[in-house]
Amino acid sequence: MEQNNEKALVVLSGGQDSTTCLFWAIRRFGLANVSAVTFDYGQRHRIELDSARKVAAIAGVEQIELPIDTFGAIGGNALTDAAIAPQTGDTPDSAALPNTFVPGRNLIFLTFATALAYTRGIRHIVTGVAQTDYSGYPDCRENTLKALELAIRLGMDAPLSLHAPLMYLTKAQTVHLAQEVGAMEAMAWSHTCYNGAVPPCGQCDSCRLRAKGFADAGIADPLVVRTARS
């Protein structure tokens, strides 16, 4: 993967996908040119923030943490409202978006990330959204990302670029990419469980998707290996 000397800002949640994207960015732009931003948006499981800090430290990049508590105030979804349990794929009415969908989250995250990038002279913003994600979240789709990129460029009058390297990858392909870019040590400290469990609960949709990806890739999940030893 060819490097360039431009700077990149990675939206780092501490999860599997954003961890992969962080190391993808390091490989593409060079370690000295990459930083990360993590959002404290009132998520129920604070371990996500701990995971993001640990991943950033292992990667050796600067991490900025921004507080955005509005999502917690809005509520109505399983990731910010303790009264709502995450749905699983076994839940009826599977045609509807799962209750783990936080309306507007990626739109807000990327808008704040680009604002931060603008102030630091950074032109490239990297996100782990993927259209192939099982959830079908509308703010993970390429057309959403392209529309948002255009709005951001017009609104900030700057040539900012949004990168989604996982957009059309399966979870198994994402695992192979993580291995290729050297993300596996950090992956052992990533967190994706919707129930906030460590070791992973293995039952929520996020855990199932992650487990299937590693199984299909024929690679042991470093997180499962690490937590099995502790």
- Whether residue 27 contacts residue 182, with contact meaning beta carbons closer than 8 Å, is answered with yes
Cβ density class 162-174: b for 16+ within 10 Å, e for less: bbbbbbebbbbbb
Task: Give the integer Cα–Cα distance in Å for 32 and 6.
Answer: 10
Tokens of 48: 């996500």
Of 82, 83, 61, 75, nearest to 105 by C-alpha is 75
- Does 145 show up as a binding residue in the annotation? no
- Does 66 show up as a binding residue in the annotation? no
- Does 201 show up as a binding residue in the annotation? yes
- Does 161 show up as a binding residue in the annotation? no
Task: Give the integer Cα–Cα distance in Å for 77 and 50.
Answer: 22
Q: How many CB atoms lie within 10 A of CB 110?
A: 24
Task: Give the integer Cα–Cα distance in Å for 77 and 105.
Answer: 11
**Residue given tokens 């009132």 in the structure block:** 42
Decide: helix, strand or coil at residue 111. helix
C-alpha distance from residue 67 to each of 19, 30, 46, 49, 71 (Å):
20, 27, 13, 11, 11
- Does 140 show up as a binding residue in the annotation? no
- Does 104 show up as a binding residue in the annotation? no
- Does 173 show up as a binding residue in the annotation? no
Say which DSSP state 67 is in: E
Q: Which residues are known binding-site members for Zn(2+)?
A: 193, 201, 204, 207
Q: Which residues are known binding-site members?
A: 12-22, 193, 201, 204, 207
Q: Which residues are known binding-site members for ATP?
A: 12-22
